[in-house]
């Protein structure tokens, strides 16, 4: 698929270059009224989604006025009207006019449209008239156009559910930010480990009350996702003791010992259920590499620990590194900082300041270009604002 995509992009570029040489200017895309989704030959038979594997669709590409890379998405409905909220766009997109559409994705869409959530309530040997159309758009997401709809009159459906996957994000909010989910802490993915996230977080008093927090895989409890609270979080005994954990209002996680913490959420999947393991660790942040002199320090010690801001300063305060005793240059010799989690390499939780902005390695590659420093300088990091400096 990747090789095919590259070929298509090359053809599109050649077409654009030819048009430029001929006309002296870039072609302008026009949006057609529609395009043709072909009716499969096999519509008289039964499409058995449980055993089909895929359903093949073909179309005539939309006429944008020039050869263009086009992205297609498949929409499925039980009514030919395709009214709002009465159709589902399947998750997989395609870049050719011939596409093998996952039968499982179609089944999941149909079950959702039927509104049946219990397998026992799903009728056996269900045969449905199913309607399909395509949406097409250019590579930049513009010039969206819809095809005609076709009918597959005999689709044998089965009770199919979407796969349970690791969350892409976990957010933290609480009375510490007035429960404003739009301003929630976006936790950082641990490099190389799906479903594991961390944050250096201030959990001080909110007025006269202890901090109360919850987590969610969506940025707001009213947006769905999986909410994490005292009701379903697995919190180890060391964390409970360190942070003095208790259940708060509406099962929020209450922090009886105010202060800074490294908060870690690890997701596990059992069947169709999530288990969320939540840890509260001491806020140990480390300066690594040549800034610590000689060939550099590449392990967690006491000499390379950042100073944790006093709790009286609140959330808007800087963690401060030890003074550099080496002069890290660019490349691999740059200033490096991280937290350290048991069972992970230090660079799995690395971060650095670029142009005054705190940037986490997270799922990305090595953080380049490296930031240099001089002897006597310090690294200042404000985890709340996501800012920092070296001076």
pTM: 0.74
Question: Mean pLDDT for each 10-residue chunk of the chain (391 residues)?
Answer: 46 43 60 95 90 95 92 97 95 96 96 92 90 96 96 95 92 95 96 97 94 92 78 97 96 97 96 94 97 91 97 96 88 87 97 97 92 95 98 96
336 backbone φψ class: left, alpha, beta (φ>0; ψ -120 to 50):
beta
Task: Give yes or no on whether 33-157 and 286-390 have one common fold.
Answer: yes
Q: What is the tens place of the pLDDT at every residue in 5-52?
A: 454 444 444 444 444 444 445 567 899 999 999 999 888 899 999 999
User: Which CATH code is given to the segment(s) 33-157?
Assistant: 2.60.40.10
- At residue 186's C-alpha, the angle toward residues 352 and 269, to 5°, is 110
Residues 6+ apart with CB under 8 A from 222: none
The residues spanned by each domain of the chain are 33-157, 171-281, 286-390
Q: Determine the pLDDT at residue 226.
A: 84
Q: What top-level class would CATH report for the domain 171-281?
A: mainly beta
Using an 8 Å Cβ cutoff, are 143 and 137 in contact? yes
Written as six digits, the tokens of 260 are 């800074």
Q: What top-level class would CATH report for the domain 286-390?
A: mainly beta
């Amino acid at each position: 698929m990747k090789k095919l995509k590259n070929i298509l992009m090359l053809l599109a570029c050649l077409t654009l270059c030819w048009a430029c040489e001929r006309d002296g200017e870039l072609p302008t895309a026009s949006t057609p009224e529609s395009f043709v989704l072909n009716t499969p030959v096999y519509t008289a038979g039964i499409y058995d989604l449980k055993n089909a594997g895929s359903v093949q669709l073909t179309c005539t590409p939309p006429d944008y006025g020039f050869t263009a890379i086009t992205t297609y998405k498949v929409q499925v409905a039980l009514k030919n009207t395709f009214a709002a909220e009465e159709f589902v766009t399947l998750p997989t997109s395609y870049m050719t006019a011939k596409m093998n559409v996952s039968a499982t994705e179609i089944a999941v869409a149909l079950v959702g449209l039927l509104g049946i959530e219990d397998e026992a309530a799903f009728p056996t040997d269900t045969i449905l008239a199913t309607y399909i159309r395509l949406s097409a758009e250019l590579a930049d997401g513009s010039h969206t156009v819809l095809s005609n709809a076709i009918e597959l009159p005999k689709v044998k459906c089965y009770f199919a559910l979407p796969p349970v996957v690791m969350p892409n994000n976990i957010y933290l909010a609480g009375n510490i930010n007035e429960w404003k989910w739009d301003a929630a802490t976006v936790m950082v993915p641990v490099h190389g480990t799906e479903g594991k996230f961390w944050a250096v977080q201030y959990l001080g008093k909110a007025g006269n009350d202890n901090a109360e927090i919850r987590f969610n895989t969506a940025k707001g409890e009213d947006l769905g996702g999986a909410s994490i609270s005292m009701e379903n979080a697995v919190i180890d005994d060391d964390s409970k003791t360190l942070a003095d954990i208790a259940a708060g209002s509406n099962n929020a996680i209450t922090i009886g010992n105010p202060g800074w913490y490294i908060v870690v959420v690890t997701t596990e999947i059992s069947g169709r259920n999530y288990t969320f393991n939540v840890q509260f660790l001491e806020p140990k942040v480390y300066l690594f590499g040549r800034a610590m002199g000689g060939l550099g320090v590449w392990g967690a010690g006491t000499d390379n620990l950042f100073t944790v801001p006093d709790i009286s300063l609140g959330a808007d305060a800087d963690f401060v590194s030890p003074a550099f005793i080496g002069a890290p240059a660019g490349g691999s010799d740059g200033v490096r900082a991280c937290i350290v989690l048991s069972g992970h390499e230090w660079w799995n939780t690395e971060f650095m300041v670029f142009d005054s902005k705190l940037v986490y390695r997270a799922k990305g590659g090595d953080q380049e270009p490296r930031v240099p420093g001089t002897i006597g300088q310090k690294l200042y990091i404000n985890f709340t604002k996501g800012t920092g400096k070296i001076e």
